[in-house]
Structure 1
Amino acid sequence: MENLLLHSLVFIFIITLTIKFLLERRKQERKLPPSPPAIPIIGHLHLLKQPLHRTFHSLSQKYGPIVSVKLGSRLAIVVSSPSLVEECFTKNDIVFANRPFFSNSRYLTYNHSTMGAAPYGDHWRNLRRIGSIEIFSPSRINMFVDVRKDEVKRLVRRLYHVCNKGFAKVKLRPMFMDLSFNVIMRMVAGKRYYGEELEQVEEGRRFREIMTEFVQCTEVSDPADIFPILKVFGFKGAEEKCMRVGKRLDEFLQGLIDRHRSKKDGNTMINRMLDLQQSQPEYYTEEIIKGLIQVNASNRIG
């Protein structure tokens, strides 16, 4: 009897969702760009095949340069025209400034408060101002010219040791990644975490491990974000892993901040943020500072 009742409730729920989907589609039909026929609940997910760019190209050939697709419960717009893409990022940049909220990113971006996840508004504009003035301004970049020179010298020395006995094949891509990443992290935290000649090998290993897991979490989408009904049945997807990775990263970044606060000297981004925290503690909170570190680190490794 209980099984029959449960099956009946699930059936009624699915029928309700289907009717709601059809009604919403009828409402939006005149406003949305052209769209291929969709299947209730899953939308156009059945059309997405690898490689995706060819799938979207074939859709644009049939339906035009702007195509709307439903990914489960989420609506997406695919723009295939270069001139229209330019218009999206110039005349209509504010309209497309926001990013959708995903359950996994809540644990990785301090509840969507970092520069890469925050919605467009005063908070996001302040974060951008901080980045433009305090991190990426010409004066701040010029302050770290010695860091860049030193990392280039280390790279040249590394190449010399590999090739000093004769011809040798060298993979330059990982070396250039180590170079750029170490430049960024020395500007941010005053430490090298990649390549050779590390002062703190264990800390570098831990940092690389956490950031690798962090990027893996950001690359995996949670099915429950596309099919919210899964949350009713207790489906969590990668949510628990993202929560664990977010906690480990938060503890690591907090440790960096605490060590810089105790030293009270140095010419790094963290030191500069801590100085600003003295004058504006209500805005330059620990989470804001950790979010700025995280964005710089994850953008580089990503």
Structure 2
Amino acid sequence: MKRTAKELDSILAERLEEHKQKRTKGKDQDFMDVMLSAIDGVYVAGFDADTVIKATCLAMISGGSDTTMVTLTWTLSLLLNNRQVLKKVYEELDQHVGKRRLLNESDINNLVYLPAAIKEAMRLCPPGPLSVQRVFREDCTVGGYQVPKGTWLLVNLWKIQTDPQVWADPMEFKPGRFLTTHKDVDVRGQQFELTPFGSGRRACPGISFALQMTLLTLASFLHSFDVTTRGNAPVDMTGSVGFTNMKLTPLDVLVKPRLSPHLYE
């Protein structure tokens, strides 16, 4: 792990130096450029600006890519086990994109049902079923329980997101709820009944990256291919044990092109 950490630090240090050089030439800004401008010369919790920038970029890339992969897997699994929902997703893609061209990123803004399906998948199968640990900085009382200073707290996000007092039919995959009864509930941590990315100032910094990548990747994949399982068998929804809610068994699917052949060239 130490060797890997050093290699990653070396890669990020090289990229950071490249960005410092490009800034003097007025190049377009990306995330690392914005970080350079925001904390130039500032020490954060005893760390210099370069260390903070490298750590933040690594956290966003590693956290965003891993959770995006998990979310894509669970969302597709749920869609395959709920064919009527999958049919509606295909209908929406055909309506707003059609079959004469490939999906563009700008098409994402016209989609409503697929984002609701992804949100519902995050509710049922959050990438991280437990929140990042918090530490009590002082003795306190919570719900009548005495909690001593230094106690670690991990919130069971999955339990909250499947609470029958909040969600009707909590264990059923119903994307339509986010277009009707829960249309104002977002995943960015503003409503505590749905916080797959956490909430507050220590929420996942890669929320926007993960949401955009998940939606664009899944929309492009489903727009281009009809997806089924072998013999239309149901997908095994068993999860693994760990801080990341990985699917225990691989997701094996059959795909068939649904667009004009020249679009795949």
TM normalised by structure 1 equals 0.28
**Larger Cα-atom Rg:** 1
More helix by share: 1
Larger RCO (CA under 8 A, 6+ residues apart): 2
TM-score normalised by L of structure 2: 0.31
